[in-house]
Amino acid sequence: MLLKDTPVTTDKLLSVQDLRVHFHTLRGIVHALEGVSFHLNRQETLGLAGETGCGKSVTARSVLRLIDPPGRIVSGRIIFEDRDILTLDDTAVRAIRGGEISMIMQEPKMSLNPVIRVGDQVAEALLIHDTSLNRSSARTQAEEMLTQMGIPEAHRTSRRYPHELSGGMAQRIMIAMMLVTRPKLLIADEPTSALDVTIQAQILALMDKLVQDIRTSVLMITHDLGVMAETCDRVAVMYAGNIVEMGAVRSVLKDPQHPYTQGLLKTVPDKANPDHPLYAIKGNVPSLLQPQNHCRFSDRCEYAMARCSREIPPVYQMTDDHEAACFLHDGQSISSGGKQVDLMNP
């Protein structure tokens, strides 16, 4: 697995503090996020990884205050530069959306308007956030962005409708639409999940180049650990509505310090030994209908101790760029079930 190895700045652009999001349903309150905290530096790419349903997309949508009923942001702070997004009025938030913070949604063809030409949709993003532009200038800039995205015959392609495009082409259009305003932060929610590996690699390379040219920070949501390894500077691993491990991508992937992260990495197929059985983490994800009053991974963890089922583990700082929320790091000598546990070599 090729790991990205680039210097990381320490100038914070986004800071999420103790974010809690609940969904009120007929079955009860779903505790989708419980105390999520992280930060994103300028010109940095932070990856959010974890199983489906762990809260990655809810976290991303919360940053733009896109949680619709029955969902509700219960508490927390989302500091973007020097503004708390949760305290802004709707007009101020709309000015930030698409202008200073853009988001690439999953399934690009579902996000594009089927009855408007794609070039006009890219140009519209400019017209909304730059009132000094006329429609002709916006279209010209839109076509220039399509060309930068590697779209051949950008002028002709800009006059097509979404149904006339392949999945890879539609994804390029979406990325162009989100980057044409030169946002300070790009949220990419599974940007290549529906594409084959060849097109996926091309789009990730193009997006990485544009992000560097524009000097944009990226919050990358993905379940693909290979994508995360190649594109992210730091990574936050989520499980059942909380972040269980966070740090530099090289540190987390080479030396995971939380049992869930270890299990997640074991599920990656071994290319050197293709006949080896696939690994699966035992058990099931707990119901989010219950409030979090203990380690949510305890029922599936082979190192679980008695305290894991009755206490919420704090965050332990292993190094300056690596932390994990696991009782296994509480003290020098670690014991589980009467045996010594070496988390470094499970």
Low-confidence residues in the chain, pLDDT < 70? 1-10, 194, 331-346
CATH of domain 101-182: 3.40.50.300
Structure tokens at 25: 């349903």
Smallest Cα–Cα separation from 237: which of 223, 254, 217, 218? 223
Structure tokens at 117: 């030409």
The one-letter code for the residue type at 92 is: A
Buried b (16+ CB within 10 A) or exposed e, 236-266: bbbbbbbbbbbbbbbbbbeebbbbbbbbbbe
pLDDT attached to residue 340: 33
* 3 state SS for the chain: CCCCCCCCCCCEEEEEEEEEEEEEECCEEEEEEEEEEEEEECCCEEEEECCCCCCHHHHHHHHCCCCCCCEEEEEEEEEECCEEHHHCCHHHHHHHECCCEEEECCCHHHHCCCCCCHHHHHHHHHHHHCCCCCHHHHHHHHHHHHHHCCCCCHHHHCCCCHHHCCHHHHHHHHHHHHHCCCCCEEEEECCCCCCCHHHHHHHHHHHHHHHHHHCCEEEEECCCHHHHHHHCCEEEEEECCEEEEEEEHHHHHHCCCCHHHHHHHHCCCCCCCCCCCCCCCCCCCCCCCCCCCCCCCHHHCCCCCHHHHCCCCCCEEEECCEEECCHHHCCCCCEECCEECCCCCC
pTM of the predicted structure, to 2 decimals: 0.87
Q: What is the pLDDT of residues 278-320, one digit of tens each?
A: 888 999 999 999 887 899 999 999 999 999 999 999 999 988 8
> Which residues lie across from 17 on neighbouring strands?
77
* 3 state SS for 297-319: CHHHCCCCCHHHHCCCCCCEEEE
| 308 Cβ neighbours under 8 A, 6+ residues apart | 294, 295, 298, 301, 327
> How many CA atoms lie less than 13 Å away from 346 in the CB half-sphere?
17
Query: 122: burial class by Cβ within 10 Å (0-12, 13-18, 19+)?
Result: buried
Query: 294: burial class by Cβ within 10 Å (0-12, 13-18, 19+)?
Result: middle
pLDDT attached to residue 342: 43
Domain ranges, ordered by start, for the chain: 101-182, 255-340
pLDDT attached to residue 332: 36
Neighbours of 290 (CB within 10 A): 13
